[in-house]
Amino acid sequence: MTDLSKLKPKAGKGTPPALEVTNTNLKTPPREAPVKFKKIKIEFSVPEEIAQEFSQEAGMRFGFKKGSKSDLFLAMFQEYQDRKAG
């Protein structure tokens, strides 16, 4: 049988912090994400090498974060529209 008397007691565990120590996260209103337009998914196939290059370019231009490929696509389309108009 195991001797449980040698275990350390739970000293002070579970006591809540003093009120002046807690932060005010619950008092601040949540941020509202700006919704400029409704997004849809576009799915098409390209060679793997082009997809990898596109991902790298998106990361270098817009940072390696979620949405960088969408940002690159929008920038490319805007450039296309500008060339077509002018």
Distance (Å, whole) CA 41 – CA 71? 13
Q: Which two tokens stand for residue 64?
A: 């390696």
Question: Do residues 62 and 72 lie in contact, with contact meaning Cβ atoms separated by under 8 Å?
Answer: yes
Instruction: Check residue 17 and give its pLDDT.
Output: 65
pLDDT digits 0-9 by tens, 21-32? 656 777 777 777
58, with CB counted inside 10 A (0-12, 13-18, 19+), is buried
8 Å CB contact between 72 and 61:
yes
Please state the domain extents for the chain.
Answer: 49-86
How do residues 33-60 score in pLDDT, each as one tens digit? 777 788 899 999 999 999 999 999 999 9
| pTM tops 0.75, yes or no | no
Q: CA 65, CA 59: separation in Å to the nearest integer?
A: 7
